[in-house]
Amino acid sequence: MTTSARSKKKKPYGEVVDLFCGVGALSHGLQRAGLKIIAGYDTDPRCQHAFEKNNHASFHVRDVAKLTPDEIKGHFSGKLPSVLAGCAPCQPFSTYKQRYSEDPQWGLVTKFAKLAVEVEPDFVTMENVPALLRYKEGRVFRRFCNIIEKAGYELTWTVAKCEDFGVPQKRRRLVVIASKSGAPVALRSTRSTAKTVRDAIGNLRQLEAGDIDPKDPLHAASSLTAINLKRIRASKPGGTWRDWPKSLRAPCHKRPTGMTYPGVYARMSWDEPSPTMTTQCYGYGNGRFGHPEQDRAISLREAAILQSFPKSYEFLPRQEKISFTEVGRWIGNAVPVKLAEAVGRVIINTNSENLKNGSTT
């Protein structure tokens, strides 16, 4: 980079510490918006390479349930607005279950809120599944909001349609943004039309089931059994297993309970957003994860792109063997990057409004 290029580099609008950071999808979106990622915390040490490589920040293997406010405060310089971000998982951690008996699935949400008000960042943002609004008649979510609001923050939340933010995927996520100085600006749609599967992955190298792109080890498709190869060849884009000859139908499809699940063993449609990516999105039989045209399930790279990760996002060192189970879990659990980028813009715009109105942040 030349001296003139460095001089044109924009100063970051704020500093972020990301709790439950995983491979860094939330951080990456906030970084793309213009925030500086300082540190991330997660219990999975295997996420370190992806987080640090793509976000240029330090990764800490740490149980958030054991974090102290001072540990987090130590990352902020005090020269820029501070942001505490996180996506508290619904699955209980083993150490967490030993320490917190109440609401074992959602207690980390409360822990995150309590940490936030003790750290006192300028902004707090949390992303989670919309089911949090319904869990225990909404008491867990109301508790989270009450803790944040009683500490003097103004808070907004919305259930975002990810396809409205440039994510080529039908996904719903609960997004909370809280500001210490003035109400956060609204999280608004950034696209008038949704991106499609074709827009996202239509130009990637063709693969057969079991193949790996020699130029991109993440562009790898899982193998298919002989019967599943016949099934996907009989599948239509956007169709169901009901389109197959009866001889190809699985035993579960013939039972009354199986008749109500047409969205497994199915192909995506080229000209619609994809279905929600799950931790098993690389498997043809796990949902509507068949490629629209090629006789295989989508590759890990295609799944990542449908989560709006950049095509160059590096999950593991290039020489390291890829595990479908491991990387699929990282991708399926990730915050869509473009949704996170929209959240970052809300934080930046809110700070600008606060400054304009005379608030100090």
Catalytically annotated residues: 90
State the distance between the two ends of the chain, measured CA to CA, in whole angstroms.
Answer: 32
Name the phi and psi angles at 299, rounded to 5: -80, 170
Q: Is residue 128 within 8 Å of residue 134, measured between CB atoms?
A: no
Nearest-angstrom CA–CA distance, 113 and 124: 9
Indicate the angle between helix axes 139-150 and 107-119, nearest 10 degrees: 0
Radius of gyration of the chain (CA): 22
Pairing state between β 82-86 and 15-19: parallel
CA distances from 323 to 163, 250, 326 (A): 28, 27, 5
Assign 310 to helix, strand or coil.
coil
Number of other CB atoms surrounding residue 53 within 10 Å: 16
